Amino acid sequence: MTKLVLVVAAALFDGEGRVLLAKRPEGKAMAGLWEFPGGKIEPGERPEAALARELSEELGIGVREENLKPIKFVSFPYPDFHLLMPLYACYEWEGVPQASEGQLLDWVRVEDLHTYDAPPADIPLFDYLASKGAQE
């Protein structure tokens, strides 16, 4: 039986319609790949609460749960586990995103997402955003 891993991610859009990507630091699984900020959902934690917590920990920003809008999810079979990841759009937060876990950050136009190497599970999300643009 394959282990199910539940994670949550955010497409943070700035005023220019760009989305924030984070590059996984050395020493982590899939180091060097670009992904949406977010992380694991703890047992008993709601996805929105988990994402607000992760964005605070990873980027030092405050996000109200009502500002997280679910837009897409991915279900992806990695060799050692199966990943289930909802993606939320967010256009409002408090503070300025800053890398606090050794990751690099970049604001990317959605049509340029595919120029960044990403984990396989993120590619369908890149496809979706590139097809939709940065619409609210």
Structural domain of 15: 3-132
For the chain, how many structural domains are there in total?
Answer: 1
Mean pLDDT split into 10-residue runs, the chain, 136 residues: 93 95 85 92 96 96 97 95 96 94 91 95 94 65
Q: Write the pLDDT tens digit of every residue in 73-97.
A: 999 999 999 999 999 999 999 999 9
Provide the pLDDT for residue 135.
53
Nearest-5° Cα angle at 95, 32 to 74: 45
Overall pTM > 0.95:
no
Q: Indicate the burial class of 32 (C-beta count within 10 angstroms; 0-12, 13-18, 19 or more).
A: exposed
The secondary structure of residue 117, as a DSSP letter, is -
What CATH number is given to the structural domain containing 42? 3.90.79.10
DSSP 34-74: EE-SEEEPPTT--HHHHHHHHHHHHH--B--GGG-EEEEEE
Provide the pLDDT for residue 134.
55
